[in-house]
Chains A and B, each alone.
Chain A
Amino acid sequence: MVMGWIWTAMLLISIFFSWLTGNGAGLSASVLQGAQAGVTLAISMAGGLCLWSGIGHLMTHMGLTGKLACLLRPILVRLFPETRQDPDLAADLSANICANLLGLGNAATPMGVSAAKRIAAGDSATDSLCRLVVLNSASIQLIPANVAALRAGLNCNTPFDILPAVWVTSLCSALLGLTAAWILGKVWRHD
């Protein structure tokens, strides 16, 4: 539903502005060029995306996410005190965080959702649930596979050179997002 509104708004805005600037010919040409660009984009990142999906499948099968999870244990207990009593919740949460770290966003969602169901208590969000959502929407990634695939598809010679910048950026956004959640949690009580 939301996407329908966004789509229509984008059409309205572009028709209005090209009418103002009198560039109707360019606008109508852009319709088919854009559609073709969508296919070109998908094909140009297909190799990287599929390869990483294959690697991800292997990592999940080998239980690599479980091993990474042990390292995350101390942080997990502090962020989500519920994990002390609930080992299943701890497993879901660490699998969710690990899949995010490895750039396997699609694999992360089911585990995160299962953790959210366990954390939830009643109709109003708990602090832990808010933290889980903030953590997932900040997406700390060690290997942003999709973006690297996209850059490689655009003929970039060093698609992975953005890694350090991505690490710094996603770490900052996760930490400050969690800090904001902590501060807001003090003032924004259950109603």
Chain B
Amino acid sequence: MIDYMIPILLLAISLPALRRKENLYGLLLEGTQQGLHILSSILPALILLLTAVHMLRASGAAEIISDVLAPVFSFFGIPPETALLVLIRPISGSAALAVGAELMASYGVDSRIGRTAAVMLGSTETTFYTVSVYFSAAGVSRTRYAIPAALFGDFVGFFMASLSVKLFF
């Protein structure tokens, strides 16, 4: 069932567009072109951050960080290898993408760590970025409990990502 979800979704939005005599193909091309702009805007950050992440790995620092945090992570059932990802996820989206991609590549996309990293990336957001964009746009300087509540949501996300990968695979 889930195998057909994405292909059918593609069809399900294409057919009504045809029926309404929209410029279906033109719209698709236009949006895909915008995707290239998004890609070129994140590419410089990915180059810089993967450089830093590879340096952290090569120096052994990434391993030491996960070793130090291992007792806390194991207590919650979160793989300690994902420590760097968990630490950086709320701060920077592209850094998290860089760390997550590195984890998936070195442990394997279908490994437990690779899957957990993927679920973590897919189900959390760059909390501090979100908070700063929304509050500065709204002209609100006292954020009250927004940050603790959002960070608690992130923590639940990391915990549930580890648990659901353990249960589902």
> B118 and A46: CB pair below 8 A?
no
> A57 and B16: CB pair below 8 A?
no
Cβ of B61 within 8 Å of any chain A Cβ, yes or no, is yes
Cβ of B71 within 8 Å of any chain A Cβ, yes or no, is no
Cβ of A85 within 8 Å of any chain B Cβ, yes or no, is no
Instruction: List A residues at the B interface (Cβ < 8 Å).
Output: 2-3, 6-7, 10-11, 13-18, 20-21, 23, 26-27, 29-31, 33-35, 37-39, 41-42, 46, 49-59, 61-62, 64, 105-106, 109, 112-113, 116-117, 119-120, 122-125, 129-130, 132-134, 136-139, 141, 143-144, 146-148, 150-151, 154-156, 158, 160-166, 168-170, 172-174, 176-178, 180-181, 184-185, 188, 190-191
Given A62-B16, A161-B2, A164-B2, 9 other A-B residues pairs in contact with their CB atoms under 8 A:
A34-B50, A39-B46, A58-B14, A117-B137, A123-B141, A133-B143, A137-B131, A137-B150, A184-B144
Q: Closest approach, in angstroms, between the C-beta of A106 and any C-beta of chain B?
A: 6
What residues of chain A lie closer than 8 Å to B169, measured between beta carbons?
161, 165
Instruction: List B residues at the A interface (Cβ < 8 Å).
Output: 2-3, 5-6, 9-10, 13-14, 16-17, 20, 22, 24, 27-36, 38-39, 42-43, 46-61, 64, 88, 90-92, 95, 97-98, 100-102, 104-105, 109-110, 115, 118-128, 130-131, 133-135, 137-146, 148-150, 152-154, 156-157, 160-161, 164-165, 168-169
The residue from B43, B125, B145 contacting A137, defined by CB atoms under 8 A apart: B125
> B56 and A38: CB pair below 8 A?
no
> A174 and B153: CB pair below 8 A?
yes
How many angstroms between the C-alpha atoms of A169 and B6 in the bound complex? 20
The 3 closest A-B pairs by CB, nearest first: A57-B31, A177-B153, A34-B54
How many angstroms between the C-alpha atoms of A13 and B65 in the bound complex? 10
> B51 and A38: CB pair below 8 A?
yes
Known A-B contacts A42-B42, A165-B115; the reply to A17 vs B153 at CB < 8 A is no
What residues of chain B lie closer than 8 Å to A161, measured between beta carbons?
2, 169
Could you list 26 examples of A-B contacts with CB < 8 Å? A2-B91, A23-B60, A35-B47, A35-B50, A49-B39, A50-B39, A53-B35, A54-B29, A54-B30, A57-B27, A58-B24, A58-B31, A64-B13, A113-B133, A123-B139, A123-B142, A139-B124, A146-B121, A150-B101, A150-B118, A151-B109, A163-B5, A172-B156, A173-B124, A173-B153, A180-B152
Known A-B contacts A37-B54, A125-B144; the reply to A106 vs B59 at CB < 8 A is no
Tell me the nearest residue of chain B to A46, going by C-beta.
B39
Q: Closest approach, in angstroms, between the C-beta of B41 and any C-beta of chain A?
A: 10
How many angstroms between the C-alpha atoms of A18 and B61 in the bound complex? 8
The residue from B28, B61, B135, B161 contacting A17, defined by CB atoms under 8 A apart: B61
